[in-house]
Amino acid sequence: MASAELRAIRRRIKSVQSTMKITRAMELIAASRIVKAHQRVSAAQPYTRKMAEVVGNVGAASGGAPHPLLEHREVETAGVLVVSSDRGLAGAYNTNVIRMAEARLIELAGQGVDTRVYVVGKRAQSYLRYRGYRIERAFLGITDTPGYGDARAIANLLMNDYAEGTIDSVEAYSTEYVSALTQTAARWPILPIIPPEKEEGAGEEAASFGYSYEPSAATLLGLLLPRYVEAAMFGLLLDASASEHAARRRAMKAATENADDLTRLLSRQANQARQAEITTEISEIVGGAEALTQG
């Protein structure tokens, strides 16, 4: 009996050690990808900031020129974009953002507002489809290393649906990368565009230089707004990618530590089982020797 128990414990130890090797490798891979993802986030921020500044300046100079992407209308159909990952094993990364998005979908349904759901990543697609939501479009296989072309494709789809009146607003639910230890699920209003306001110093500087626009400021604004949405979408995808890698690294680190603790516990149990086996064998030998002596 003791031998069978010892063999079972040793088999389990080998299984846990094999799992620990996998989680350790995944932790190291995620850690290496965090660095690259963070560098991409940092590299994209100057462009996004400058684009917001230019749109703010041109928007002010245009005198409130009308544009389909700036049009505010009563929301009868809301577009909801949910950004998740294609793979799991990332802790609560997907759960947090999907729960926030689902709560919003339930809220909109309670207000009598129709919704059109767009998703990025297989996890959101699988969950929302299982919950009975109709998914208009899913973008898969881009969450690991999103490119600007991916952001443009998503932004163009949303802008076309908005311009055609299929949807009256767009809000995105994704994860904001704060640091390697902190990532928070967040809501991002996408459409209609709310032009960023110029900073106090920026307006005075622009006035002092007396900028003129060729073509007109209104024409430039119409050309810049789609690029502005694309840049915002790209920044959103980069934040989500960095958050995913950071969450996966933490989850795999915790799994590796738990596997190590379990290995130590099982090793103690194996030692105890081996001790019991040895004690039983000694008792049998002593008992046999005494029987022979008495015989």
pLDDT band at 124 (very low <50, low <70, confident <90, very high): very high
Task: Classify residue 179: in a domain, yes or no.
Answer: yes
Average pLDDT value for residue range 24-44? 88
Domain count, the chain: 1
203 within some domain: no
CA geometry: angle at 119 spanning 113 and 124, to 5°? 100
Distance CA 289, CA 295 (A): 10
In a domain, 116, yes or no: yes
pLDDT of residue 45: 83
Specify if 206 maps to a domain.
no
Q: With bands split at pLDDT 50, 70 and 90, how would you rate the model's confidence at 84? A: very high
pTM of the entire predicted model: 0.81
Q: Is residue 266 part of a domain?
A: no
Q: What is the CATH number of the domain that holds 81?
A: 3.40.1380.10
- 18 within domain boundaries: no
More confident residue, 13 or 194: 13
Q: Cβ(200)–Cβ(30) under 8 Å? A: no
Banded model confidence at residue 198, pLDDT cuts 50, 70, 90: low
- pLDDT, tens digit, 9 for 90 and up, residues 46-58: 888 888 887 877 7
What does the block give as tokens for 134?
Answer: 């109709």
d(CA 211, CA 178): 36
Q: Is position 276 within any domain? A: no
Residue 223 CA, chain-centre distance (Å), reads 30
- The verdict on residue 273 lying in a domain is no
In the β-sheet with 77-83, what is the strand arrangement from edge to edge?
135-139, 114-120, 77-83, 169-177, 183-191
Using an 8 Å Cβ cutoff, are 56 and 195 in contact?
yes
Domain enclosing residue 146, as ranges: 28-195+215-250
- Reported as a single tens digit per residue, the pLDDT across 232-244 is 999 999 999 999 9
